[in-house]
Amino acid sequence: MTLSHQLHQNLPVPHTLPSSATSILEAAAILRRGGLVAFPTETVYGLGADATNADAVAAIFEAKGRPAYNPLICHVANLAAAKRLGEFDARAEKLAQAFWPGALTLIVKRTSDCPAAAAVSAGLDSIAIRVPDHELALSLLVETDRPLAAPSANRSGAVSPTSAGHVAQSLGDNVDLILDGGNCRVGVESTVLAVDGATPVLLRPGGITIEDLRKVVGPIELAEIGDTDQPKSPGMLESHYAPNLAVRMNAHTATPDEAVLAFGPVLPENLNAALNLSPDGNLDQAAANLFDYLRALDQDNYTGIAVMPIPDHGIGRAINDRLRRAAAPRPSRPE
């Protein structure tokens, strides 16, 4: 039995606290003892554990039902802390300077004395690192004084959480404490960029757009989703971010029993229960609403979720990536 399990059995859970100096101290103490704390970032809520504690890291995989081959992101307070975990060449440093704190995760080689548990990297010699742009997350990192491994705080394969309530729904008492920082500003996960090879490779579109990345580093390769022979990122599984209902993309019409996830001012006829990601057609607003609305429409009385077309540029790429995976066939969906 891991320390986290013992701790977990002794705590009245689920246990949610608003942001305050005291709740941050409590959260940091739990993390230093090897427990699990869900905390907000600007993208989505993370399920955090001390990245240097192998038992605590194992507890993340268990709580999420996450396959052991899918590595985790390490969150740190600044570039100096990142450099203790990974090797930053000039290019990686330039990216960090340009986008941190922010929704960019950099994959770099682990340092030879990297203190993060091997399971964080799922045994790879690289490590994913980011500095979140969120005051509460940064205070927690400073107070804990450890790198925090934190995947999105949901069951593996399910929709990511953008509020404390989503975390409680998804993980229940599998987490020792949930820090409530309100709704996440960005709403989709960080962009994952591998800078451990010759050309940077985009492994996951996210909160920082490819257009902005290219302005700083020039050419970027786009990894193919579902490139299962040689997955560059073990997290590039086809079905992911999936609600229970089937998801249908690029819908211009809907059947009467489908729930509609709309975008923009012109709505399909026959629509039922439409939630509009952004009536003005604003992609940032659509990203911020995406996961909350997918959850809200995911009800048994509908036959599926029909999603209207979303422009595929800027953060729209990240939105379409998540929707594509929500709509993907689900041969081996957990639960």
Query: Closest separation between CB of residue 105 and Mg ion, Å?
Result: 11
Query: Closest separation between CB of residue 152 and Mg ion, Å?
Result: 3
Cβ-based nearer residue to ligand TXA, 155 or 248: 155
Sheet holding 104-109, edge to edge: 16-18, 177-180, 37-39, 46-50, 148-149, 73-75, 126-130, 104-109, 191-194, 201-204, 221-222
Cβ-based nearer residue to Mg ion, 152 or 320: 152
Contact 41, 132 (CB under 8 A): yes
Angle between helices 90-99 and 210-217 (to 10 degrees): 130
Beta bridge partners of 204: 192
Using CA of residue 230, residue 235, residue 236, residue 240, what is the dihedral sign? positive
Residues from 99 through 158 that contact Mg ion (CB under 5 A): 152
| DSSP per-residue letters across 266-295 | -PPTT-EEEEES-TT--HHHHHHHHHHHHH
Q: Which does residue 44 touch among Mg ion, ligand TXA, none (CB within 5 to 8 A, set by kind)?
A: ligand TXA
Q: Which does residue 310 touch among ligand TXA, Mg ion, none (CB within 5 to 8 A, set by kind)?
A: none
Residue nearest to ligand TXA (CB): 235
Residues from 144 through 203 that contact ligand TXA (CB under 6 A): 150-152, 189-190, 192, 203
121 near ligand TXA (CB under 6 A) = yes
Residue 65, Cβ density class (10 Å: 0-12 exposed, 13-18 middle, ≥19 buried): middle
Query: Closest separation between CB of residue 194 and ligand TXA, Å?
Result: 6
Query: Closest separation between CB of residue 117 and ligand TXA, Å?
Result: 13
* Phi-psi region at 281: left, alpha or beta (left = phi > 0; alpha = psi -120 to 50): left
Residues from 43 through 102 that contact ligand TXA (CB under 6 A): 43-44, 46, 70-73
User: Residues in the site for Mg ion, rule: CB under 5 A?
Assistant: 152
User: Residues in the site for ligand TXA, rule: CB under 6 A?
Assistant: 41, 43-44, 46, 70-73, 105, 107, 121, 124, 126-128, 132, 150-152, 189-190, 192, 203-204, 233-235
